[in-house]
A = this chain, B = another copy of it.
Amino acid sequence: MASLPVTLDTINPKVLECEYAVRGEIVILAQKLQEELKNNPNSQPFDEILYCNIGNPQSLAQQPITFFREVLALCDHPALLDKPESKILFSEDSIQRASQILGQIPGRATGAYSHSQGIKGLRDTIAAGIEARDGYPADPNDLFLTDGASPAVHMMMQLLIRSKNDGILCPIPQYPLYSASIALHGGTLVPYYLDEATGWGLEVSELEKQLKTAKSNGISVRALVVINPGNPTGQVLAKENQEQIVDFCKKEGLVLLADEVYQENVYVADKKFHSFKKVARSMGYGDNDICLVSFQSVSKGYYGECGKRGGYMEITGFKPDVRDQIYKLASVNLCSNISGQILASLIMKPPKEGDKSYESYVKEKNAILSSLARRAEKLEEVFNSLEGVTCNRAEGAMYLFPRLHLPEKAIEAAKGAGAAPDAFYARRLLNATGIVVVPGSGFKQVPGTWHFRCTILPQEDRIPAIVTRLTKFHKEFMDEFRS
Protein backbone atom coordinates (compact mmCIF):
# COMPACT_ATOMS: atom_id res chain seq x y z
CA MET A 1 0.00 0.00 0.00
CA ALA A 2 1.29 3.44 -0.93
CA SER A 3 1.11 5.85 2.00
CA LEU A 4 -1.32 8.76 1.76
CA PRO A 5 -0.06 11.08 -0.93
CA VAL A 6 -0.63 14.46 0.70
CA THR A 7 1.64 15.67 3.50
CA LEU A 8 2.89 19.08 4.60
CA ASP A 9 6.05 18.28 2.66
CA THR A 10 4.21 17.76 -0.58
CA ILE A 11 1.69 20.59 -0.64
CA ASN A 12 2.12 23.97 -2.25
CA PRO A 13 4.62 25.84 -0.05
CA LYS A 14 2.76 29.10 -0.76
CA VAL A 15 -0.17 27.69 1.18
CA LEU A 16 2.10 26.92 4.12
CA GLU A 17 3.53 30.43 3.97
CA CYS A 18 0.14 32.16 3.96
CA GLU A 19 -1.19 33.36 7.32
CA TYR A 20 -4.58 34.68 8.34
CA ALA A 21 -4.57 35.62 12.00
CA VAL A 22 -8.13 37.00 12.08
CA ARG A 23 -9.20 33.36 12.12
CA GLY A 24 -5.95 31.97 13.42
CA GLU A 25 -4.64 30.28 16.56
CA ILE A 26 -6.40 32.52 19.13
CA VAL A 27 -9.76 32.00 17.44
CA ILE A 28 -9.30 28.25 17.31
CA LEU A 29 -8.56 28.33 21.06
CA ALA A 30 -11.69 30.45 21.58
CA GLN A 31 -13.82 27.90 19.73
CA LYS A 32 -12.38 25.17 21.94
CA LEU A 33 -13.20 27.14 25.10
CA GLN A 34 -16.71 27.80 23.77
CA GLU A 35 -17.21 24.07 23.29
CA GLU A 36 -15.99 23.44 26.85
CA LEU A 37 -18.36 26.12 28.17
CA LYS A 38 -21.23 24.45 26.36
CA ASN A 39 -20.47 21.12 27.94
CA ASN A 40 -19.68 22.57 31.36
CA PRO A 41 -20.82 26.16 32.01
CA ASN A 42 -18.55 26.36 35.07
CA SER A 43 -15.39 25.26 33.31
CA GLN A 44 -14.10 28.80 32.73
CA PRO A 45 -13.80 31.98 34.79
CA PHE A 46 -16.33 33.64 32.38
CA ASP A 47 -19.67 32.58 31.03
CA GLU A 48 -19.31 33.47 27.36
CA ILE A 49 -16.79 34.08 24.62
CA LEU A 50 -16.80 37.65 23.27
CA TYR A 51 -15.56 37.67 19.70
CA CYS A 52 -13.79 41.02 19.26
CA ASN A 53 -11.44 39.51 16.69
CA ILE A 54 -13.40 40.14 13.54
CA GLY A 55 -15.52 42.82 11.91
CA ASN A 56 -18.67 40.70 12.02
CA PRO A 57 -21.34 43.04 13.43
CA GLN A 58 -24.38 40.77 13.18
CA SER A 59 -22.60 38.01 15.12
CA LEU A 60 -22.69 40.48 18.02
CA ALA A 61 -26.41 41.19 17.66
CA GLN A 62 -26.34 44.16 15.27
CA GLN A 63 -29.65 43.95 13.42
CA PRO A 64 -29.84 44.13 9.62
CA ILE A 65 -31.58 47.09 7.93
CA THR A 66 -35.23 46.02 7.58
CA PHE A 67 -35.75 47.41 4.07
CA PHE A 68 -32.78 45.46 2.70
CA ARG A 69 -34.04 42.18 4.13
CA GLU A 70 -37.58 42.77 2.87
CA VAL A 71 -36.28 43.21 -0.66
CA LEU A 72 -34.06 40.12 -0.40
CA ALA A 73 -36.92 37.94 0.85
CA LEU A 74 -39.21 39.10 -1.96
CA CYS A 75 -36.53 38.45 -4.58
CA ASP A 76 -35.91 34.98 -3.15
CA HIS A 77 -39.55 34.06 -3.47
CA PRO A 78 -41.08 36.30 -6.14
CA ALA A 79 -44.46 34.55 -5.84
CA LEU A 80 -44.94 36.67 -2.71
CA LEU A 81 -45.21 39.83 -4.81
CA ASP A 82 -48.70 39.04 -6.06
CA LYS A 83 -50.17 38.01 -2.70
CA PRO A 84 -52.48 40.45 -0.88
CA GLU A 85 -51.01 39.40 2.48
CA SER A 86 -47.63 40.72 1.35
CA LYS A 87 -49.02 44.25 1.49
CA ILE A 88 -49.33 43.70 5.24
CA LEU A 89 -45.97 41.97 5.69
CA PHE A 90 -43.78 44.17 3.52
CA SER A 91 -43.31 47.92 3.09
CA GLU A 92 -44.71 49.42 -0.08
CA ASP A 93 -41.35 50.52 -1.40
CA SER A 94 -39.70 47.15 -0.72
CA ILE A 95 -42.33 45.59 -2.97
CA GLN A 96 -41.68 48.23 -5.60
CA ARG A 97 -37.93 47.82 -5.37
CA ALA A 98 -38.09 44.03 -5.55
CA SER A 99 -40.34 44.25 -8.63
CA GLN A 100 -37.96 46.68 -10.22
CA ILE A 101 -34.93 44.47 -9.49
CA LEU A 102 -36.68 41.35 -10.80
CA GLY A 103 -37.47 43.32 -13.94
CA GLN A 104 -33.73 43.91 -14.39
CA ILE A 105 -32.88 40.20 -14.14
CA PRO A 106 -33.28 38.30 -17.40
CA GLY A 107 -36.31 36.03 -17.01
CA ARG A 108 -36.70 37.30 -13.41
CA ALA A 109 -34.44 34.32 -12.63
CA THR A 110 -32.68 34.96 -9.31
CA GLY A 111 -31.51 31.33 -9.49
CA ALA A 112 -29.63 31.72 -12.76
CA TYR A 113 -25.96 32.49 -13.26
CA SER A 114 -25.72 36.14 -14.26
CA HIS A 115 -23.30 37.98 -16.51
CA SER A 116 -19.83 37.30 -15.08
CA GLN A 117 -19.51 40.94 -13.94
CA GLY A 118 -22.95 40.88 -12.32
CA ILE A 119 -26.46 41.70 -13.50
CA LYS A 120 -26.33 44.72 -15.80
CA GLY A 121 -29.32 46.51 -14.24
CA LEU A 122 -27.80 46.20 -10.77
CA ARG A 123 -24.49 47.52 -12.05
CA ASP A 124 -26.38 50.50 -13.51
CA THR A 125 -27.82 51.18 -10.05
CA ILE A 126 -24.43 50.90 -8.37
CA ALA A 127 -22.79 53.14 -10.97
CA ALA A 128 -25.49 55.75 -10.35
CA GLY A 129 -24.80 55.46 -6.61
CA ILE A 130 -21.08 56.01 -7.16
CA GLU A 131 -21.84 59.06 -9.32
CA ALA A 132 -24.13 60.48 -6.64
CA ARG A 133 -21.42 59.89 -4.01
CA ASP A 134 -18.49 61.34 -6.00
CA GLY A 135 -19.95 63.80 -8.44
CA TYR A 136 -18.06 62.14 -11.29
CA PRO A 137 -19.34 59.63 -13.85
CA ALA A 138 -19.14 55.89 -13.21
CA ASP A 139 -19.48 53.24 -15.92
CA PRO A 140 -21.40 50.02 -15.12
CA ASN A 141 -18.96 48.20 -17.39
CA ASP A 142 -16.17 49.13 -14.97
CA LEU A 143 -17.89 47.20 -12.17
CA PHE A 144 -17.22 43.58 -11.23
CA LEU A 145 -19.60 42.23 -8.60
CA THR A 146 -17.98 39.67 -6.32
CA ASP A 147 -18.73 37.44 -3.30
CA GLY A 148 -17.49 40.08 -0.84
CA ALA A 149 -14.37 42.18 -1.43
CA SER A 150 -11.91 39.34 -0.76
CA PRO A 151 -12.31 37.52 -4.11
CA ALA A 152 -11.90 40.87 -5.88
CA VAL A 153 -8.60 41.46 -4.08
CA HIS A 154 -7.45 37.93 -5.01
CA MET A 155 -8.40 38.59 -8.63
CA MET A 156 -6.23 41.69 -8.84
CA MET A 157 -3.30 39.95 -7.11
CA GLN A 158 -3.66 37.04 -9.54
CA LEU A 159 -3.58 39.49 -12.45
CA LEU A 160 -0.60 41.53 -11.28
CA ILE A 161 1.76 39.04 -9.63
CA ARG A 162 4.01 37.04 -11.96
CA SER A 163 6.68 35.91 -9.53
CA LYS A 164 8.46 36.63 -6.26
CA ASN A 165 10.04 39.60 -8.02
CA ASP A 166 6.71 41.37 -8.24
CA GLY A 167 5.97 43.50 -5.20
CA ILE A 168 2.85 45.06 -3.76
CA LEU A 169 3.22 48.06 -1.44
CA CYS A 170 1.07 47.42 1.66
CA PRO A 171 0.54 49.48 4.78
CA ILE A 172 1.95 48.13 8.03
CA PRO A 173 -0.13 47.38 10.00
CA GLN A 174 -2.34 45.86 7.27
CA TYR A 175 -5.44 43.73 7.00
CA PRO A 176 -4.00 40.20 6.59
CA LEU A 177 -6.08 39.42 3.51
CA TYR A 178 -3.37 41.34 1.65
CA SER A 179 -0.38 39.48 3.04
CA ALA A 180 -2.25 36.18 2.60
CA SER A 181 -3.22 36.89 -0.98
CA ILE A 182 0.26 38.09 -1.92
CA ALA A 183 1.76 34.94 -0.36
CA LEU A 184 -0.71 32.66 -2.15
CA HIS A 185 0.03 34.29 -5.49
CA GLY A 186 3.76 34.07 -4.92
CA GLY A 187 4.58 37.78 -4.81
CA THR A 188 6.47 39.98 -2.38
CA LEU A 189 4.84 42.24 0.16
CA VAL A 190 6.69 45.57 0.17
CA PRO A 191 5.89 47.20 3.49
CA TYR A 192 5.34 50.86 4.15
CA TYR A 193 4.90 51.89 7.75
CA LEU A 194 2.06 54.01 9.01
CA ASP A 195 3.25 56.47 11.65
CA GLU A 196 1.58 55.62 14.95
CA ALA A 197 2.84 58.86 16.52
CA THR A 198 0.83 60.99 14.04
CA GLY A 199 -2.40 58.96 14.26
CA TRP A 200 -1.24 56.29 11.79
CA GLY A 201 -0.15 58.93 9.28
CA LEU A 202 0.63 57.85 5.71
CA GLU A 203 3.71 59.76 4.51
CA VAL A 204 4.61 59.82 0.83
CA SER A 205 8.28 60.11 1.83
CA GLU A 206 7.91 56.67 3.44
CA LEU A 207 6.33 55.29 0.24
CA GLU A 208 9.23 56.70 -1.78
CA LYS A 209 11.81 55.27 0.58
CA GLN A 210 10.30 51.78 0.56
CA LEU A 211 9.81 51.81 -3.21
CA LYS A 212 13.46 52.71 -3.67
CA THR A 213 14.61 49.96 -1.32
CA ALA A 214 12.40 47.40 -3.08
CA LYS A 215 13.73 48.43 -6.50
CA SER A 216 17.29 48.14 -5.30
CA ASN A 217 16.48 44.59 -4.22
CA GLY A 218 15.31 43.76 -7.75
CA ILE A 219 11.61 43.96 -6.93
CA SER A 220 9.30 45.32 -9.58
CA VAL A 221 6.58 47.07 -7.59
CA ARG A 222 3.21 46.76 -9.33
CA ALA A 223 0.66 48.30 -7.01
CA LEU A 224 0.00 50.26 -3.85
CA VAL A 225 -2.64 49.11 -1.37
CA VAL A 226 -4.32 51.85 0.66
CA ILE A 227 -7.00 50.97 3.22
CA ASN A 228 -9.18 54.03 3.91
CA PRO A 229 -10.68 54.21 6.52
CA GLY A 230 -7.86 52.10 7.92
CA ASN A 231 -7.96 48.49 9.05
CA PRO A 232 -6.76 47.75 11.71
CA THR A 233 -5.72 51.33 12.35
CA GLY A 234 -8.96 53.33 12.00
CA GLN A 235 -7.51 56.52 10.55
CA VAL A 236 -9.37 58.45 7.81
CA LEU A 237 -7.11 60.01 5.19
CA ALA A 238 -7.23 63.74 4.50
CA LYS A 239 -7.99 64.74 0.91
CA GLU A 240 -4.59 66.45 0.51
CA ASN A 241 -2.88 63.26 1.60
CA GLN A 242 -4.91 61.27 -0.93
CA GLU A 243 -3.85 63.70 -3.68
CA GLN A 244 -0.20 63.07 -2.83
CA ILE A 245 -0.82 59.32 -2.99
CA VAL A 246 -2.54 59.60 -6.37
CA ASP A 247 0.37 61.62 -7.72
CA PHE A 248 2.86 59.10 -6.35
CA CYS A 249 1.06 56.21 -8.11
CA LYS A 250 0.78 58.16 -11.34
CA LYS A 251 4.45 59.14 -11.28
CA GLU A 252 5.70 55.67 -10.37
CA GLY A 253 3.32 53.73 -12.62
CA LEU A 254 1.62 51.83 -9.80
CA VAL A 255 -1.90 50.48 -9.74
CA LEU A 256 -3.72 52.07 -6.80
CA LEU A 257 -5.70 49.37 -4.98
CA ALA A 258 -8.08 51.32 -2.75
CA ASP A 259 -9.78 49.28 -0.03
CA GLU A 260 -12.79 51.51 0.63
CA VAL A 261 -15.05 48.98 2.37
CA TYR A 262 -15.38 51.19 5.47
CA GLN A 263 -16.55 54.24 3.49
CA GLU A 264 -19.73 54.57 5.59
CA ASN A 265 -17.83 54.12 8.89
CA VAL A 266 -16.53 57.58 9.78
CA TYR A 267 -17.13 58.67 13.36
CA VAL A 268 -15.47 62.05 13.77
CA ALA A 269 -16.72 65.45 12.67
CA ASP A 270 -13.34 66.66 11.39
CA LYS A 271 -12.88 63.84 8.85
CA LYS A 272 -14.85 62.80 5.78
CA PHE A 273 -14.52 59.89 3.37
CA HIS A 274 -13.38 60.72 -0.16
CA SER A 275 -13.09 57.94 -2.69
CA PHE A 276 -9.75 57.79 -4.49
CA LYS A 277 -11.62 57.95 -7.78
CA LYS A 278 -13.21 61.24 -6.79
CA VAL A 279 -9.85 62.58 -5.65
CA ALA A 280 -8.13 61.51 -8.88
CA ARG A 281 -10.90 62.98 -11.04
CA SER A 282 -10.87 66.21 -9.05
CA MET A 283 -7.15 66.48 -9.91
CA GLY A 284 -8.07 66.19 -13.58
CA TYR A 285 -6.79 62.64 -13.97
CA GLY A 286 -8.81 60.31 -16.17
CA ASP A 287 -8.62 56.79 -17.57
CA ASN A 288 -5.37 57.49 -19.38
CA ASP A 289 -3.54 58.74 -16.32
CA ILE A 290 -3.94 56.20 -13.56
CA CYS A 291 -5.02 52.59 -12.98
CA LEU A 292 -7.36 52.62 -10.03
CA VAL A 293 -9.32 49.83 -8.34
CA SER A 294 -11.84 50.57 -5.60
CA PHE A 295 -13.12 47.71 -3.42
CA GLN A 296 -16.50 47.92 -1.72
CA SER A 297 -18.40 45.34 0.33
CA VAL A 298 -21.85 44.78 1.85
CA SER A 299 -20.11 43.40 4.97
CA LYS A 300 -19.17 46.68 6.60
CA GLY A 301 -20.77 50.15 6.85
CA TYR A 302 -24.01 50.37 8.86
CA TYR A 303 -25.37 47.32 7.01
CA GLY A 304 -22.75 44.77 8.21
CA GLU A 305 -24.14 41.99 5.99
CA CYS A 306 -21.02 39.80 6.15
CA GLY A 307 -22.87 36.52 5.62
CA LYS A 308 -24.35 37.68 2.34
CA ARG A 309 -20.97 37.85 0.62
CA GLY A 310 -21.66 40.79 -1.64
CA GLY A 311 -19.30 43.41 -2.94
CA TYR A 312 -17.78 44.89 -6.03
CA MET A 313 -14.67 46.44 -7.48
CA GLU A 314 -14.67 49.43 -9.80
CA ILE A 315 -11.70 49.34 -12.16
CA THR A 316 -10.68 52.38 -14.17
CA GLY A 317 -7.65 53.07 -16.32
CA PHE A 318 -7.27 49.52 -17.67
CA LYS A 319 -7.00 49.05 -21.42
CA PRO A 320 -9.66 46.86 -23.09
CA ASP A 321 -7.32 43.92 -23.68
CA VAL A 322 -6.37 43.80 -20.00
CA ARG A 323 -10.02 44.21 -18.96
CA ASP A 324 -10.83 41.20 -21.15
CA GLN A 325 -8.37 39.20 -19.05
CA ILE A 326 -10.05 40.35 -15.83
CA TYR A 327 -13.41 39.41 -17.33
CA LYS A 328 -12.03 35.94 -18.16
CA LEU A 329 -10.87 35.49 -14.56
CA ALA A 330 -14.34 36.47 -13.34
CA SER A 331 -15.99 34.13 -15.81
CA VAL A 332 -14.08 31.04 -14.63
CA ASN A 333 -16.19 31.26 -11.45
CA LEU A 334 -19.26 32.18 -13.51
CA CYS A 335 -20.70 34.91 -11.25
CA SER A 336 -21.10 36.06 -7.68
CA ASN A 337 -24.21 35.13 -5.70
CA ILE A 338 -27.31 37.01 -6.80
CA SER A 339 -28.55 37.93 -3.30
CA GLY A 340 -25.16 39.55 -2.65
CA GLN A 341 -25.45 41.35 -5.99
CA ILE A 342 -28.91 42.66 -5.08
CA LEU A 343 -27.70 43.79 -1.68
CA ALA A 344 -24.74 45.61 -3.25
CA SER A 345 -27.25 47.56 -5.35
CA LEU A 346 -29.33 48.31 -2.25
CA ILE A 347 -26.47 49.75 -0.19
CA MET A 348 -25.54 52.02 -3.10
CA LYS A 349 -29.19 53.08 -3.53
CA PRO A 350 -30.91 52.96 -0.14
CA PRO A 351 -34.40 54.44 0.38
CA LYS A 352 -34.48 58.15 -0.35
CA GLU A 353 -36.50 60.97 1.16
CA GLY A 354 -40.16 60.50 0.35
CA ASP A 355 -39.95 56.68 0.17
CA LYS A 356 -42.20 54.85 2.62
CA SER A 357 -39.24 53.17 4.33
CA TYR A 358 -37.09 56.27 4.44
CA GLU A 359 -37.77 57.24 8.03
CA SER A 360 -37.28 53.78 9.51
CA TYR A 361 -34.19 53.29 7.34
CA VAL A 362 -32.58 56.53 8.55
CA LYS A 363 -33.49 55.72 12.12
CA GLU A 364 -31.91 52.25 11.95
CA LYS A 365 -28.82 53.53 10.14
CA ASN A 366 -28.20 56.45 12.49
CA ALA A 367 -28.74 54.34 15.58
CA ILE A 368 -26.05 51.92 14.42
CA LEU A 369 -23.53 54.54 13.33
CA SER A 370 -23.93 56.80 16.36
CA SER A 371 -23.65 53.82 18.68
CA LEU A 372 -20.48 52.67 16.89
CA ALA A 373 -19.03 56.17 17.35
CA ARG A 374 -19.79 56.09 21.09
CA ARG A 375 -18.30 52.61 21.43
CA ALA A 376 -15.14 53.65 19.56
CA GLU A 377 -14.69 56.63 21.86
CA LYS A 378 -15.42 54.69 25.04
CA LEU A 379 -13.06 51.82 24.26
CA GLU A 380 -10.28 54.16 23.16
CA GLU A 381 -10.62 55.96 26.50
CA VAL A 382 -10.49 52.68 28.40
CA PHE A 383 -7.43 51.42 26.55
CA ASN A 384 -5.63 54.71 27.17
CA SER A 385 -6.44 54.43 30.88
CA LEU A 386 -4.57 51.11 31.18
CA GLU A 387 -1.00 51.06 32.46
CA GLY A 388 1.47 50.79 29.58
CA VAL A 389 -1.17 51.03 26.86
CA THR A 390 -1.54 53.82 24.28
CA CYS A 391 -4.25 53.92 21.66
CA ASN A 392 -4.98 56.18 18.70
CA ARG A 393 -8.60 57.11 18.17
CA ALA A 394 -10.72 55.23 15.64
CA GLU A 395 -11.77 57.96 13.24
CA GLY A 396 -13.42 55.28 11.16
CA ALA A 397 -13.71 51.54 10.37
CA MET A 398 -14.52 49.09 13.20
CA TYR A 399 -11.32 48.61 15.18
CA LEU A 400 -8.96 49.95 17.79
CA PHE A 401 -5.31 48.96 17.61
CA PRO A 402 -3.84 49.73 21.04
CA ARG A 403 -0.12 49.49 21.62
CA LEU A 404 1.18 47.39 24.50
CA HIS A 405 4.30 48.70 26.21
CA LEU A 406 5.03 45.41 27.94
CA PRO A 407 7.44 44.94 30.85
CA GLU A 408 10.62 43.00 30.10
CA LYS A 409 9.44 40.13 32.31
CA ALA A 410 6.32 39.68 30.19
CA ILE A 411 8.42 39.59 27.04
CA GLU A 412 10.69 36.99 28.65
CA ALA A 413 7.67 34.93 29.74
CA ALA A 414 6.28 35.05 26.21
CA LYS A 415 9.61 33.85 24.85
CA GLY A 416 9.51 31.01 27.34
CA ALA A 417 6.03 30.10 26.12
CA GLY A 418 7.21 30.20 22.52
CA ALA A 419 4.88 33.04 21.60
CA ALA A 420 5.20 36.63 20.40
CA PRO A 421 4.57 38.95 23.37
CA ASP A 422 1.27 40.25 21.96
CA ALA A 423 0.10 36.73 21.15
CA PHE A 424 1.03 35.76 24.71
CA TYR A 425 -1.02 38.68 26.03
CA ALA A 426 -4.00 37.87 23.79
CA ARG A 427 -3.99 34.22 24.88
CA ARG A 428 -3.88 35.19 28.54
CA LEU A 429 -6.66 37.71 27.97
CA LEU A 430 -8.82 35.06 26.33
CA ASN A 431 -8.19 32.47 29.02
CA ALA A 432 -8.97 34.96 31.78
CA THR A 433 -11.91 36.88 30.32
CA GLY A 434 -13.30 35.14 27.23
CA ILE A 435 -12.47 38.26 25.18
CA VAL A 436 -11.01 37.41 21.76
CA VAL A 437 -8.65 39.93 20.15
CA VAL A 438 -6.06 39.48 17.41
CA PRO A 439 -2.36 39.95 18.22
CA GLY A 440 -0.69 42.77 16.30
CA SER A 441 1.78 40.34 14.79
CA GLY A 442 -1.11 39.08 12.62
CA PHE A 443 -1.24 42.50 10.95
CA LYS A 444 2.54 43.11 11.03
CA GLN A 445 3.89 46.07 13.00
CA VAL A 446 7.08 48.03 13.55
CA PRO A 447 9.53 45.41 14.87
CA GLY A 448 9.80 45.55 18.65
CA THR A 449 6.35 47.11 19.08
CA TRP A 450 3.33 45.08 20.25
CA HIS A 451 -0.34 45.68 19.64
CA PHE A 452 -3.66 43.95 19.37
CA ARG A 453 -6.75 44.61 17.30
CA CYS A 454 -10.08 44.83 19.10
CA THR A 455 -13.35 45.53 17.32
CA ILE A 456 -15.77 48.16 18.58
CA LEU A 457 -18.68 45.83 17.82
CA PRO A 458 -20.00 44.49 21.16
CA GLN A 459 -23.40 46.07 21.87
CA GLU A 460 -23.33 49.07 24.20
CA ASP A 461 -25.03 47.32 27.10
CA ARG A 462 -22.16 44.82 27.09
CA ILE A 463 -19.38 47.37 27.15
CA PRO A 464 -19.31 47.98 30.95
CA ALA A 465 -18.80 44.27 31.66
CA ILE A 466 -16.07 44.06 29.02
CA VAL A 467 -14.34 47.10 30.48
CA THR A 468 -14.46 45.62 33.98
CA ARG A 469 -13.09 42.25 32.87
CA LEU A 470 -10.43 43.81 30.66
CA THR A 471 -9.27 46.30 33.30
CA LYS A 472 -9.06 43.64 35.97
CA PHE A 473 -7.14 41.27 33.71
CA HIS A 474 -4.71 43.95 32.58
CA LYS A 475 -3.98 45.05 36.13
CA GLU A 476 -3.29 41.47 37.20
CA PHE A 477 -1.14 40.88 34.12
CA MET A 478 0.95 43.96 34.88
CA ASP A 479 1.16 43.05 38.56
CA GLU A 480 2.49 39.65 37.58
CA PHE A 481 5.12 40.94 35.17
CA ARG A 482 5.93 44.51 36.27
CA SER A 483 9.68 44.95 36.57
Contacts and interface: CB of A to CB of B under 8 A. Distances in A.
A88 B85 CA distance: 8
A321 B113 contact: no
Interface stretch (A145-153, A195-203, A421-429, A443-451): A145-153
A291 interface: yes
A89 B337 CA distance: 25
A147 B336 CA distance: 8
A211 to B, nearest CB: 13
Interface in A407-437: none
Interface string A159-198: 1111000000000000001001100110000000000000
Contacts of A337: 147, 307-309, 337, 339-340
A307 B147 contact: no
Given A89-B85, A337-B340, A5 B253 contact: yes
A77 B113 CA distance: 23
Given A89-B85, A113-B306, A307-B113, A11 B333 contact: no
Interface string A438-478: 00000000000000000000000000000000000000000
A112 B457 CA distance: 12
B160 A308 contact: no
Given A5-B254, A5-B255, A113-B59, A12 B159 contact: yes
A402 to B, nearest CB: 24
B159 A15 contact: yes
A273 interface: no
A288 to B, nearest CB: 7
B18 A328 contact: yes
Q: In the complex this chain forms, how many copies of it are found?
A: 2
B59 A1 contact: no
Given A6-B160, A150-B332, A307-B338, A23 B116 contact: yes
B12 A59 contact: no
B56 A112 contact: yes
A8 B333 contact: no
A46 B332 CA distance: 29
Interface in A47-68: 54, 56-61, 64, 66
A43 interface: no
B56 A2 contact: no
Given A89-B80, A339-B339, A333 B148 contact: yes
Nearest to A8: B321
B1 A305 contact: no
A109 interface: yes
A350 interface: no
Contacts of A289: 1
Given A73-B76, A306-B112, A336-B309, A61 B107 contact: yes
Given A2-B251, A4-B291, A6-B291, 19 more contacts: A1-B250, A2-B250, A2-B252, A4-B253, A5-B255, A6-B160, A7-B319, A11-B162, A11-B325, A15-B328, A22-B331, A56-B113, A57-B112, A64-B111, A85-B86, A111-B304, A158-B184, A184-B332, A337-B337
5 contacts: A11-B325, A59-B109, A64-B111, A73-B80, A111-B305
What are the nearest 3 A-B pairs in CB distance?
A: A73-B77, A59-B112, A309-B337
